[in-house]
A and B are shown apart, each in its own frame.
Chain A
Amino acid sequence: KNQVEQSPQSLIILEGKNCTLQCNYTVSPFSNLRWYKQDTGRGPVSLTIMTFSENTKSNGRYTATLDADTKQSSLHITASQLSDSASYICVVIFSGGYQKVTFGTGTKLQVIP
């Protein structure tokens, strides 16, 4: 069982609409959680980084939330644009020693006109 699970696997929304992507994790002890955006055939690019003490972090139209008690995070995209079409990957980092990084399988978002 993957220690970082994302839902939905894929999502299609109309341009201008909002959407929320989910990430549940079982990784422990937890250091920080990151959301990456990956365009097709490209490397992932960081959107947000949150430590266990942070509840929310924004980056433009992207807002990530974190509930460390329930081990859940979400990424909310406001007023979607065609360029938001990509895979969004949730990444959880263990605390202590070398930073053990666990990647979710991603949510593939398609924004259509």
Chain B
Amino acid sequence: DTGVSQNPRHKITKRGQNVTFRCDPISEHNRLYWYRQTLGQGPEFLTYFQNEAQLEKSRLLSDRFSAERPKGSFSTLEIQRTEQGDSAMYLCASSLAFRTGDNQPQHFGDGTRLSIL
């Protein structure tokens, strides 16, 4: 399968713990995005990378959240000191862009569902 891959699929943790998710994009895609989705809502943008550079972060992304894409390939999203409100599906997407503002469709993985006890 050459689609976007996310691990783990599910994560259950206690409040206050740190968690890290991984995303492997479609191999030729240079852009990678993170979204959060809660029940009954559409995905909400968190941040995106062009190659290894993090180009935009949402106001939703508190300082407890950090994302990296060290070699321009896979990415990790870490949440420190998790809170009940962090429970959600975290989705990763990738796309191929040739210039700023390019509007190619984003292709999503199946997400990591985070549950905070």
Q: Do these two chains interact?
A: no
Where the two chains meet, the residues of B that have a C-beta atom closer than 8 Å to any C-beta of A are none
